[in-house]
Each structure stands twice: as C-alpha cells, then as structure tokens.
Amino acid sequence: MPIPTPPALLSVVIPAKNEAEHLRALLPRVREAAGDAAEILVVDDGSTDETAAVAEAGGARVVRHPYSMGNGAAVKTGARNARGEVLVFMDADGQHPPELIPSLLAKLDDGYEMVVGARTAASQAGKRRLLGNYLYNRLASLMTGHRVLDLTSGFRAVRAERFREFLYLLPNGFSYPTTITMAFFRSGHPVAYVPFHAAARKGKSHIRLARDGLRFLLIIFRIGVLYSPLKVFFPASVLFFLCGLGLYLYTWLTGGPRFSNMSAMLLLSAFLVFLIGLVAEQITTLMYAQADDTPRPPGRQDG
C-alpha cells in the first residue's frame, strides 16, 4: 500500500532498551514500510548492549539517555527530537508490524489527529492481561464518552504538533499511551483505531502486571479528573448523599434521633464533593480553552 503522507514529513520513533538483537531484524522492515525519505529515530534508554550501534548501522538516527529513564521518557525524548510533522511510535521488541504503518497513515489522512494500532483479543498475552485491558478500555470509554479499543497500545501515528501539546502530562513509565489517548479525547482531537494481530513478544517484557496494572488504573482516574472532573466527583457526591439520606431514614424508622451527626456529616460531604467537582470542571475547561487559544510559533516545539 502506498504511503499517503509524504515520507519526508514522517518520523518513526522507536524507544529501545537492550533491543540490539531485535533491531537488526526490525529496522529493515521499518525502512521498507516507511519509505527511504522517512526518518527513523531510535531512543536508546540507557541500554547496556549494542542497541545504539546496531541502530546506527541500520540507518537510524540515535538519541541516547545516559541511564534508563523509562519508556514514557524515551517517547518524550523522541517527540522532542523528531523532525517529521507526523510521528509513528512503535516498540522495538517485534510485537508491532511495521507493515501496518501505511494503514495508520492512510487513516490519519482521513482527518484524524491520532490513529492507534489496536491489538485484537487473540493477540493479548494471557487471560489476566486480556481481562485487565478490557477493564481499562471499558473504564476509559465510560469517562471519555468514546469507544476506546486499546488504551495501552504503544503503536500509533499522530500529528507531531498535537502530540507535543501534551508532553507535560506524559509520565516517564509505560502508561504514556493511557495518558495521551485520554488527553486527545478531552481536547476534542479525533482518534481512530486500526486493528492488528500483535506478534508474540521477542525477549522479556519490562512491564510487571501487578505494579504497572495498578499504575495504569491510577493514571486512568488521574486523567479522568483532569479530563472531566464531574464524572469522578459527581458519583462520589451521590454516594455520600444516599448514605446520609439512608442513615437518616433508618434512624427515623427505628425511633432514634431524627437527624444524627453522622447523617449531617454525610450530607455535608456530598455537598462539598459536588462543589469541588464543579470548581474542578470549570478550571479544566478554562485550562483547555487557554491551551487551544495559545499561539504557537512555526517549526518544532518541545511542548
């Protein structure tokens, strides 16, 4: 499939940590799929093997971290240093097929600001990870009001200018896809998905299910508060209100004090939580409105 986006405007960013063996096989495939004029940028995240040398030998430009700073930090470094107006992010471990790049770019040219390669259910590694990703996707869909097919996929094409707007939000760990996806939805930037079957990972994963799974969940709620605070605070307010009202009815029916201190505290908490959510919603609206109105100079920006 021909690449609709002019290849001179394309940068393929590949974060890599000790991936020398896999880059030898991956880089020729990336070059063939992206075109000769595309920039291939490998961000060496403090590797102790020959990752940088192999990447340079494969025709990639290399930016190195002096020590391992995390996958998200490598992505941010790549976004700051990439020369293209369109960025494609992909892993170095062989799970993301470079042959899908033209499909991502074709979808981008349909008017979307970001296109995500969504892993099919058959390609998820293990039932626990499949269940976890399903729950993350459902929760994110509920918060954003849009169907999220793969919240944690690191395989995506995006407009560089739009991506750099949110660099300050991105964490240094593996949860950057979660953050950038929800931030794009909050700002009204259209997001599309292209399903693909992820190949079995070559080598050992750097993700730990319990540690990073909890981190992903916390990120969803954190971005949910930043995305639309009332969707988080209002249900909590309703819960406090129902508990206070239920306690008042119970004490009234059992002949106890008509209005106990606990009932008053719960009802007051419901009111305060709702007000906090309302103020947070206004602040969020003003923050995103200011970001949209801020003039940006032409050329590369660091966000």
Q: Where are the domains of the chain?
A: 7-225, 230-293
Looking at residue 186, what is its pLDDT?
78
Residue type, 47: S
Angle of helix 127-144 relative to helix 209-227, nearest 10 degrees? 10
Tell me the pLDDT of the chain (303 aa) as tens digits. 545 555 448 999 999 999 999 999 999 999 999 998 899 999 999 999 999 999 999 999 999 999 999 999 999 999 999 999 999 999 998 889 999 999 999 999 999 999 999 988 776 555 666 777 787 788 778 777 888 888 889 999 999 999 998 888 888 876 788 888 888 887 889 999 999 987 765 555 555 555 555 766 676 677 667 667 888 889 999 999 999 999 888 888 887 667 788 889 999 999 999 999 899 888 877 766 655 554 443 433 333
Tokens at 2, concatenated: 């021909």
**Residues 6+ positions from 250 with CB-CB distance below 8 Å:** 256
Residue 166, pLDDT score: 87
- CB 98, CB 70: distance < 8 Å: no
Query: Looking at residue 181, what DSSP letter applies?
Result: H
Q: Is 167 exposed, middle or buried (0-12, 13-18, 19+ CB in 10 A)?
A: middle
**pLDDT score, position 129:** 67
Cβ-based neighbour number of residue 276 at 10 Å? 15
Helices 261-293 and 230-253, packing angle to 10 deg: 170
pLDDT score, position 290: 55
Q: What is the pLDDT of residue 299?
A: 38
Q: How far apart are CA 53 and CA 59, in angstroms?
A: 10
User: Which residues have CB under 8 Å from 171's CB, separation 6+?
Assistant: 70, 72, 179, 219
The reply to whether CATH 3.90.550.10 applies to domain 7-225 is yes
| pLDDT for position 219 | 66
∠ CA 23-28-34, rounded to 5°: 110
